[in-house]
Structure formats: C-alpha cells, structure tokens
C-alpha cells in the first residue's frame, strides 16, 4: 500500500511537471507568434521603430521606340529609427539604387552602376493619435550620387515628405508622399520637379503572410507626365537560423508612363533583414 501511494505521488508529480513544461512551451509559442505579428505590422508601417534592411529587385521592360529596352533596379533601403526623447522618433529611410539597363535609350546602349540616392527623414510621434493615426513628416533629399550620367539626374534636390496610416486588426492603409525640387547640379541637364505618391493597403494573415497593394506614382512637373505602376506583392515572415527575415515577390502593371517608358507587366522580388531590439 505504501509503495503504491509513493508511486501515485510520483506519477502525480511527474504529471504536474509535464503540464508545466507544456504550458511553458505553449506560452513561448504564443509569445513568438505575438512577436512575429508585431514585426509583420511594423514592416507595414514606414515609420515603425524597427531597424530593417529591405533589398528590393525590380524588373521592367518595353522601354524605347521599339519596346526592346529593359532595366533591373536593385534598391537597398535601410531603415534606422532613432529615439529623440520619450515622445518622438526620428526615422531615417534611404533608397540606394543599383541599376542595370539594356538597349536604353537606343538599341545596343546600356549602363550599369549606382543611381541617385533618395534620403528621407521622418519626425514621428511614438504613440498614435486618439483616432489611431500614425504619422511622420520631414525633409527628403535627392543626392547626386549616380556613377554614370545616364543613371541619374546630375542634380541635387530637396523637399518635404510625409506619411500617414492606420492599423486596424490585420489591415494597414495609408499614404506616403514627397516632392523634390532641384536646386543645384549640372546646368546642361533638365531640372527636377517631381511629386511622388504611394497609397498602400496591406493585409496580414495569422501565418504572418502579408498581401500588399500599392501604387508608386510620380508626376513630373517639367514634362507634365505621369508614371503609375500598380504593385501587388506577397511576403512571408521567417526565422532562419535566428535571423528574422521577410521574403516576397509580386507583379507590377504600368497603368501610365512617359513616352518610351516601361509598359505592360514588371516584377519585384524582395528580401528584408529585421533587427528587432
């Protein structure tokens, strides 16, 4: 009887330990799921307090009078938030383009190298407004960094930039915009006066898959031309050897573009490295 009682107590104790281990594992899994959900939502927010390095490869074709020109544009886009005080962040967003173009502007012509850098700074409150609006404003700078004349404007420029968005459940929607005016550079090249508008809509599933729809429209005030690509992308958040990444891709349709600009469909691939605090 005594032996049976001891065995019962031991079995009961073992059961409690196993339950505690299961609860701890479940809690860890729930914590990891919540962390991934938080990271996926932060990636959908251009002014989130999250260090990330997106690398975006874009392919477009049908350039030129004969529609046989094409470009690869790889944008390296580090995002670095800096806490100014208990209420405000400063978000640095850089776009460094690496460009390869073939048969542009004419057959047989082509260049490869670095294009002009666009550097943006957003002053953003750490907390949303009472209506749940997340926003940021600041300056945008066009840097004359192109390694070859054909890959850049040969101009220095500046202007305002801003973003406003709302996140509700799995949805994120908003708009990012900027306007650039050139103020210096090669006098033999046309000036820059361009407005960029990017309305966006994203949906994040329970598996942390992100579906996104946006346009990246630019109006050139000098030539009075629109460039309107419409992008649809799918991306998945992953943990690879302890490094959190998001990998994805999608298609782009050119609803409008200047004469001899891209037409039809384009493609995008993206790999983002995340460095949560």
On whether the CB atoms of residues 263 and 253 are closer than 8 A, the answer is: no
Q: Which CATH superfamily is domain 2-275 in?
A: monomeric porin ompg (2.40.160.40)
pLDDT confidence of residue 27 = 43
On whether the CB atoms of residues 133 and 160 are closer than 8 A, the answer is: no
Q: 190-194: long-range contacts (C-beta < 8 A, 24 or more apart)? A: 190/222, 191/155, 191/222, 192/142, 192/153, 192/155, 192/157, 192/222, 193/220, 193/221, 193/222, 194/218, 194/219, 194/220, 194/221
Tens digits of pLDDT across the chain (277 residues): 455 555 555 554 555 454 454 444 444 444 444 465 789 999 999 999 999 999 999 999 999 888 889 999 999 999 999 999 999 999 999 999 999 999 887 787 889 999 999 999 999 999 999 999 999 999 999 999 999 999 999 999 999 999 999 999 999 999 999 999 999 999 999 999 999 999 999 999 999 999 999 999 999 999 999 999 999 999 999 999 999 999 999 999 999 999 999 999 999 999 999 999 8
DSSP code for 107: T
pLDDT confidence of residue 39 = 92
On whether the CB atoms of residues 74 and 60 are closer than 8 A, the answer is: no
- Which of 221, 227, 211, 218 is CA-nearest to residue 259? 227
Which region, left, alpha or beta, applies to residue 185 given φ > 0 means left and ψ of -120 to 50 means alpha? left
pLDDT confidence of residue 13 = 55
On whether the CB atoms of residues 53 and 78 are closer than 8 A, the answer is: yes
Measured distance CA(229)–CA(189) in Å, rounded: 25
pLDDT confidence of residue 3 = 57
Cβ-based burial of 261 (10 A; exposed 0-12, middle 13-18, buried ≥19): middle
The position carrying tokens 């306007």 is 179
Tokens found for residue 241: 């050897």
pLDDT confidence of residue 31 = 47
């Amino acid at each position: 009887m005594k032996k049976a009682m001891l065995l019962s107590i031991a079995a009961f104790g073992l059961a409690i330990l196993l339950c505690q281990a299961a609860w701890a594992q479940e809690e860890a899994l729930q914590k990891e799921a919540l962390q991934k959900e938080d990271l996926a939502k932060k990636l959908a927010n251009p002014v989130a307090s999250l260090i990330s390095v997106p690398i975006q490869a874009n392919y477009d074709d049908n350039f030129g009078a004969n529609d046989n020109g094409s470009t690869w544009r790889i944008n390296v886009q580090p995002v670095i938030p800096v806490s100014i005080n208990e209420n405000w962040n400063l978000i640095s967003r850089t776009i460094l383009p690496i460009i390869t173009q073939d048969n542009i502007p004419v057959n047989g012509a082509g260049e490869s190298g670095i294009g002009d850098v666009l550097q943006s700074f957003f002053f953003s409150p750490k907390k949303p407004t009472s209506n749940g609006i997340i926003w940021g404003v600041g300056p945008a700078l066009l840097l004359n960094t192109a390694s070859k004349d054909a890959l850049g404007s040969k101009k220095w420029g500046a202007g305002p930039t801003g973003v406003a968005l709302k996140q509700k459940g799995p949805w994120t929607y908003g708009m990012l915009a900027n306007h650039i005016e050139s103020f210096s550079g090669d006098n033999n090249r046309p000036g820059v006066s361009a407005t960029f508008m990017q309305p966006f809509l994203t949906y994040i599933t329970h598996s942390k898959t992100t579906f996104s729809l946006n346009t990246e429209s630019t109006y050139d005030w000098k030539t009075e031309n629109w460039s309107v690509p419409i992008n649809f992308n799918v991306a998945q958040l992953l943990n690879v050897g302890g490094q959190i990444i998001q990998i994805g891709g999608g298609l782009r349709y050119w609803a409008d573009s200047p004469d001899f600009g891209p037409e039809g469909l384009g493609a995008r691939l993206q790999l983002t490295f995340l460095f949560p605090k």
